[in-house]
Amino acid sequence: MKLSWITLVAAQLSAVSALPTSIDRGSALVSRGGRAADAGEAGAGAEIGASEPAVGGGAGGKAGGEAGEENKANEVEQQAQFDTPIAVGGNNIKTDTLYPPGVNGVFEVELQGPVGRTLTVTENKSPAAPPAGFIAVEPVSWIISLAEGTDGLTLQKVDYILNANNTLDISKGQAARLCTETNAFVIGPAVGELEFEREENELTVTVANINGEFAFFIPDPAAVAAPPAVPAPPAGTATPTAPATGEALSGQALMDAILAHLSGPA
C-alpha cells in the first residue's frame, strides 16, 4: 500500500514538470517591449500590433506598418549629375532626384506624375545678385529643364538640404526664382509654397512650373541697419548768448540821460 502511494505521487510530479512554462516566457516578452526573445522567432506570444523592423533590416531597415511600406513603395530616390539628363519615371510614383553636395547643402528635385520625364539640372556659376538684404547659401543657382514640359505633373518641388554637421541657419531662408525680364531673383509667395522642415534641415518650395532658374537665400546679418545718429549742428553755426549785465545797465543809463536832456528847460 505504501509503495503504491509513493508511485502515484511520483507519477503526478513527473506530469507537472512536463507542462510548458508559458507564463515565464510571456513575462520575458513584455519586458522586451513586445519583441520575441529570439530574433528569428515569430512565436504566438508576441504582442499584437508590436512594431518590427522592415524586411531586409540592418542599417537600412526602418520600422513601420503597412502604411509606411506603401508610402515607400510609391517613392523612388535616385542620384544624378549636373548637366546630365536623367529619366524620371511616371505611374504616379514620386521620384526624388538628388545632386552632388555643394558648399553647404544638397540640391534636390521632387516630381510625380502619370508620365515619365527627362530631367536636366545645370549649375549657373555666375548667378544674378541676391535680393536686397539676403545672401546666397551657395555660390551657384540651378537651372531646371524638363524636356517634355510640366503639363500633367501632380507634384513639382525644389529642395535644399543642409549638409550633415553644417551649422548654417537656413530656418528663415527663402526660395527664389529668376525673373528673365529683369534678370533678378524674386522671392515670396509668387515663387511657390515655401516650407522649412526642421528635422531634415531642409528648405522646400512647391511650384506650379518647375522649368526655370532657382536659388536659395538667407537673411544677411550685416544688412541689419544701425540706429541713425543724432545729427550735429552745421559747422560755423554760433550759439547766441545773452548780453552782459553791465552792458545792459550802460545802455539804460544812456537812454535816461537823453530823456532828461530832452525834457529840460528850453
Over residues 160-174, the pLDDT tens digits come to 999 999 999 999 999
C-alpha 130/C-alpha 42 separation (Å) is: 58
pLDDT band at 223 (very low <50, low <70, confident <90, very high): confident
Q: Burial letters for 46-85: b for 16+ Cβ neighbours within 10 Å, e otherwise?
A: beeeeeeeeeeeeeeeeeeeeeeeeeeeeeeeeebeeeee
pLDDT band at 211 (very low <50, low <70, confident <90, very high): very high
- DSSP class of residue 127 equals P
Q: Which amino acid is at 32?
A: R
Q: How far is CA 229 from its chain centroid?
A: 38
- Global pTM exceeds 0.85: no
CA atoms within 13 A on the CB side of 137: 31
Residue 187 has pLDDT above 70, yes or no: yes
Here the cell at position 87 is 529619366
CATH code at 74-223: 2.60.220
Residue 176 has pLDDT above 60, yes or no: yes
